[in-house]
Amino acid sequence: MKLTYKGKYTHEDQLSKGILPPNAVKFREPETPFKLNLIALLFTLPALLLIRLFVLASSLLHGSDLYRGSSHTLLGFALAYLTLLPHELLHAVCFGKNAEVEMYVIPRQFMIFVYCTLPISKARFIFLSLFPSLVFGWFPLTVWTLLPHVTIYSDILFGFSYLSILFGAGDYVNVYNALRQMPKGSMQQLSGFHSYWFMPE
């Protein structure tokens, strides 16, 4: 995998154009990063519900009151911001060893994203989208659920996993679109700001 830092993203024209097959179908998805962020906010709601279920499971498992966090949870929130770059690097690695991946930043929206025009399978696209949130969010939250909450480290872990899960909201939009729009056996490819799917010949 070759990663190239491309700097500040300001316009779609900066993004490479993929060579799409004639049967490629554009995803029904937001047209700009700003609109994507707005849609992603909606996807934080089911994520918050799932986190709440983990908290409930933890309380039942350990026979304690419902967990409400502490001041140390805020430190976990702060540490989660350190994963913004590793989060995108995990996306990049998932494109595969032959991929040429570009990285951009949008400072005003506090965003980093990676971009690659290599076609990938539906399954790989879904895994690529979820992998960072699993590593930094859902797996740590599972560990937190299973361990007793007796130290400040537990509070830090909860805050870290909580915010890391929410950072993946835009990725959840991609997974939703893939599940709803891509047929079985199809491929996904980026071109410009948009995703496309097609059936391989």
Low-confidence ranges of the chain (pLDDT < 70): none
pTM to 2 decimals? Answer: 0.91
pLDDT of residue 99: 94
pLDDT of residue 165: 97
Distance CA 39, CA 81 (A): 21
Q: What are phi and psi of 112, to 5 degrees?
A: -125, 140
pLDDT of residue 84: 94
Smallest CA-to-CA distance from 132 within 175, 76, 89 is with 89
pLDDT of residue 67: 78
pLDDT of residue 198: 97
Residue 61's CB is within 10 A of a number of other CB atoms, namely 12
% of the chain exceeding 90 in pLDDT: 73
